[in-house]
Amino acid sequence: MAARGTAKSARRWFVSGHVQGVGFRWFVEKHANEIGLNGWVRNEDDGRVQVYAVGVAEQLNRLAALLHQGPRMASVRGVEEQEATVQDFRSFQSS
């Protein structure tokens, strides 16, 4: 059994606002890699950005806080968070 706080889990976020065309995916990819998360970030057809990340709770919480902030040119209006099934990714990438 994993030590408390070291079990991997996954979350999915849908970020709304002015979040496409402002470097949001690059911002997420950069910070997720610095934090040590695996997963992906992509633009959705409805104007939102979707983020999927796998890591321990502390790492996921750090990314969640950054998603509410976004890069300088973004205007985040909402962040919907969901628990997700853990999938095996070896890195974090923008798609």
43, 61, 62, 72: the catalytic one is 43
pLDDT band at 2 (very low <50, low <70, confident <90, very high): very low
At 49, which helix (H) or strand (E)? strand 49-55
Please name the residue that has the structure tokens 């959705």: 44
25, 62, 72, 90: the catalytic one is 25
pLDDT tens per residue, range 46-91? 999 999 999 999 999 999 999 999 999 999 999 999 999 999 999 9
Active site residue 61: no
Q: For residues 75 and 39, what is the distance between their CA atoms, to the nearest angstrom?
A: 23
Active site residue 33: no
What is the model's pTM?
0.92
For residue 84 the two structure tokens come to: 């997700």
What Å distances lie between residue 12 and 39, 69, 85, CA to CA? 10, 17, 9
pLDDT band at 5 (very low <50, low <70, confident <90, very high): low
pLDDT at 31 over 60: yes
For residue 27 the two structure tokens come to: 């911002």
Question: All domains of the chain, ordered by start, with CATH?
Answer: 10-86 (3.30.70.100)
For CA atoms 10, 14, 19, 20, give the dihedral sign. positive
